[in-house]
């Protein structure tokens, strides 16, 4: 996937079991979709908590934060609850959405590449952020990209 591409639409359950559809969510503003390898790991917790901590900045730009991993709904619920995450965590248990976005790893040890997609209301990708080691860069660069287009 590249900047300017149409983001693949999908429907997945969030951590409460409620269906989330990308095209429907985009009616309410841009979506920042961040793929993380596994709930409750040190790096993924740091990344998810940073997205939580800068939530007011995303809200000020009218953007929605959405986390996604291959963890099941129950694991996502535990992760969201333990870390007081105030945004949906999607369960891509079979990895179909990760494959569609090109972030599914060939080996399931780490499952997906840590990648963030900033998606405009036209469903076009505004920015792609890749970093396996810097947990804060995902939210920070997403905010910068949204600031440039608003």
What are the residue numbers of the active site?
Answer: 44
Question: Which positions ≥6 away from 41 have C-beta within 8 Å?
Answer: none
CB 120 within 8 A of CB 127: no
If residue 127 lies in a helix (H) or strand (E), which one and from where to where? strand 125-130
Which tokens is 38 given? 């596994």
CB 51 within 8 A of CB 34: yes
- Residue 3's alpha-carbon distances to 54, 55, 58, 99, 124, in angstroms, are 24, 24, 20, 17, 8
Residues 133-144 as b or e (16 or more Cβ within 10 Å = b): eebebbbebbbe
Give the span between the Cα atoms of 20 and 3, in whole angstroms. 23
């Amino acid at each position: 996937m590249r900047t300017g591409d149409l983001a693949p639409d999908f429907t997945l359950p969030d951590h409460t079991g409620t269906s989330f559809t990308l095209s429907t969510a985009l009616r309410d503003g841009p979506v920042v979709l961040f793929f993380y390898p596994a709930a409750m790991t040190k790096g993924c917790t740091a990344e998810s908590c940073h997205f939580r901590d800068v939530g007011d900045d995303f809200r000020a730009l009218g953007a929605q934060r959405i986390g996604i991993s291959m963890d099941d709904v129950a694991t996502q619920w535990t992760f969201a609850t333990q870390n007081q995450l105030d945004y949906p965590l999607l369960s891509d248990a079979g990895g179909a959405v990760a494959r569609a976005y090109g972030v599914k790893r060939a080996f399931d040890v780490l499952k997906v590449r840590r990648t963030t997609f900033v998606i405009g209301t036209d469903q076009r990708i505004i920015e792609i952020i890749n970093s396996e080691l810097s947990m804060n860069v995902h939210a920070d660069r997403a905010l910068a990209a949204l600031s440039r287009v608003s």
